[in-house]
């Protein structure tokens, strides 16, 4: 009887998620029938085109969940639902941005992922699932209003080893320069990230780098101590001060100083780019002139010999 009741509750939750998803924009070419695959800890809502991927998600989920819980020291309370979307335009409408490949809705224990049919066994799928599951775990224990977005995204990138939900995983070539020379203050990333593509990627990069700096300087326990204070209802300033005996501003300043020292030559090069190009062009002009003079001299010598 208890098992039957649990099953009914699980199906009711899944139907509630499905009802929500049908209210999201997914019409036209993206409209399709939804199938459900589930086990004791997870439900996957998918389309026929992503059937293989759905099976792989169910297969890898227990290990991903176990690794995540061991790393953060917290047990996942919610029963996640994963929604797989095969149509790129449909997913862009659902996420509200063309730059994402996944997003999480912690209030509904929901993870939505864009997957191509050929991505069933890819490493990216595993990393993305771990990234989005991390969001659910953090929000299981920390109030939304107390968890800054930069920390939320930074921790999830740290545990998954990737950007996870950003579509262009390769990044942008000038990210290091922008981070060192023109960083976005973390306070501005408390509630949301910029919509501009370059600034959006920079915000994710900053979040990851700051969390990596925390773990490199204070160890994994330092980061976990901050999360513990947030879980107990403290804001980010009190959490950092209580965990590390440092103010938020001092910690951010020390981190940025370390970034600038690491990329000082990139900053100099970016600020003197036109001067560098002018010098290079001048050198090439001189080299070309000398080469021309040498060729003319050799030509005259050959004429004299004839």
Q: Is the Cβ–Cβ distance between 256 and 184 less than 8 Å?
A: no
Q: What is the mean pLDDT of residues 272-290?
A: 62
Of the candidates 253, 255, 225, the residue with the CA atom closest to the CA atom of residue 240: 225
Predicted confidence at residue 118, as pLDDT, reads: 58
Distance of alpha carbon 63 from alpha carbon 125, whole angstroms = 14
- HSE at residue 298, side-chain half, CA atoms within 13 A, is 6
Residue 42 banded pLDDT, cuts 50, 70, 90: very high
Q: Is the Cβ–Cβ distance between 60 and 41 less than 8 Å?
A: no
Q: Is the Cβ–Cβ distance between 169 and 204 less than 8 Å?
A: no
What does pTM read for this prediction? 0.76
- Comparing 175 with 158, the larger pLDDT belongs to 158
Is the model's pLDDT at 56 over the cut of 50? yes
Structure tokens at 87: 């149509």
Of the candidates 214, 239, 226, the residue with the CA atom closest to the CA atom of residue 158: 214
Domain spanning 1-141: CATH 3.30.2010.30: yes
- The 10s digit of each residue's pLDDT in 246-272 is 999 999 999 999 888 875 555 445 444
Q: What is the torsion angle, in degrees rounded to the nearest 10, for the CA atoms of residue 240, residue 243, residue 247 and residue 253?
A: -80
SS3 label, residue 110: strand
The chain-wide mean pLDDT, for the chain, equals 81
Query: Where is average pLDDT lowest: 78-92, 175-189, 223-237?
Result: 175-189
Is the model's pLDDT at 132 over the cut of 90? yes
Query: Where is average pLDDT lowest: 146-150, 159-163, 231-235?
Result: 159-163
């Amino acid at each position: 009887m208890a098992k039957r009741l649990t099953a009914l509750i699980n199906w009711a939750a899944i139907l509630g998620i499905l009802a929500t998803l049908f209210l999201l924009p997914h019409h036209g070419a993206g409209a399709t029938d939804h199938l459900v695959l589930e086990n004791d800890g997870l439900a996957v809502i998918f389309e026929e085109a992503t059937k293989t991927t759905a099976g792989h998600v169910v297969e890898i989920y227990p290990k991903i969940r176990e690794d995540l819980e061991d790393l953060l020291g917290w047990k996942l309370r919610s029963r996640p639902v994963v929604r797989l979307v095969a149509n790129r335009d449909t997913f862009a409408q659902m996420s509200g941005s063309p730059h994402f490949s996944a997003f999480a809705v912690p209030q509904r224990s929901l993870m939505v992922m864009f997957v191509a049919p050929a991505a069933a066994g890819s490493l990216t799928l595993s990393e993305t699932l771990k990234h989005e599951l991390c969001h659910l775990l953090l929000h299981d224990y920390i109030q939304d209003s107390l968890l800054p977005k930069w920390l939320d995204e930074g921790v999830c990138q740290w545990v998954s080893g990737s950007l996870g939900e950003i579509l262009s995983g390769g990044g942008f070539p000038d990210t290091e320069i922008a981070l060192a020379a023109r960083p976005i203050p973390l306070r501005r990333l408390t509630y949301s990230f910029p919509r501009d593509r370059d600034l959006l990627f920079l915000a994710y990069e900053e979040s990851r780098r700051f969390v990596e700096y925390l773990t490199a300087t204070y160890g994994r326990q330092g980061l976990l101590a901050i999360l513990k204070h947030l879980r107990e209802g403290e804001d980010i300033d009190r959490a950092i001060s209580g965990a590390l005996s440092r103010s938020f501003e001092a910690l951010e300043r020390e981190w940025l100083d370390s970034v600038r020292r690491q990329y000082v030559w990139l900053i100099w090069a970016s600020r003197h780019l036109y001067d560098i190009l002018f010098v290079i062009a001048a050198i090439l002009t001189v080299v070309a002139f000398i080469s021309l003079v040498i060729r003319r001299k050799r030509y005259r010598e050959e004429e004299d010999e004839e």
